[in-house]
């Protein structure tokens, strides 16, 4: 009886290790996610910088600065999620 329990436990443990991703796969997935996240926010930052350069000198910059700050906050949040 004890042998059956040990064999069952060993079988379940082996299946768990075979089913889980390798460290290399997880690192590659994290690198892809990081690249996508940084590319997205780099593009958004470039768009906001372009808006700032194209604006009329008399136009208020508060909205653009607020959008830029929101973008940076979202980027920080996504990167923190990625690190978890």
Q: CA nearest 38: which of 79, 83, 69, 68?
A: 79
Mean pLDDT for the chain overall = 77
Q: Is residue 66 part of a domain?
A: yes
pLDDT tens digits for range 48-65: 888 888 877 777 778 878
Give me the number of domains the chain comprises: 1
- 48/40 Cα distance (integer angstroms): 13
Q: Is residue 10 part of a domain?
A: no
Full domain range(s) for residue 57: 23-83
Contact 41, 71 (CB under 8 A): yes
- 35/17 Cα distance (integer angstroms): 28
Q: CA nearest 67: which of 83, 46, 38, 37?
A: 46
Global pTM value? 0.56
Q: Is residue 16 part of a domain?
A: no
Q: Is residue 17 part of a domain?
A: no
Q: Is residue 37 part of a domain?
A: yes
Q: Is residue 11 part of a domain?
A: no
């Amino acid at each position: 009886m004890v042998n059956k329990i040990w064999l069952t436990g060993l079988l379940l443990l082996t299946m768990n290790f075979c089913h889980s991703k390798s460290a290399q796969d997880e690192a590659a997935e994290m690198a892809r996610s990081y690249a996508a996240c940084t590319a997205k926010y780099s593009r958004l930052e470039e768009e906001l910088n372009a808006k700032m350069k194209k604006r009329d000198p008399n136009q208020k910059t508060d909205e653009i600065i607020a959008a830029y700050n929101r973008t940076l906050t979202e980027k920080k949040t996504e990167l923190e999620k990625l690190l978890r």
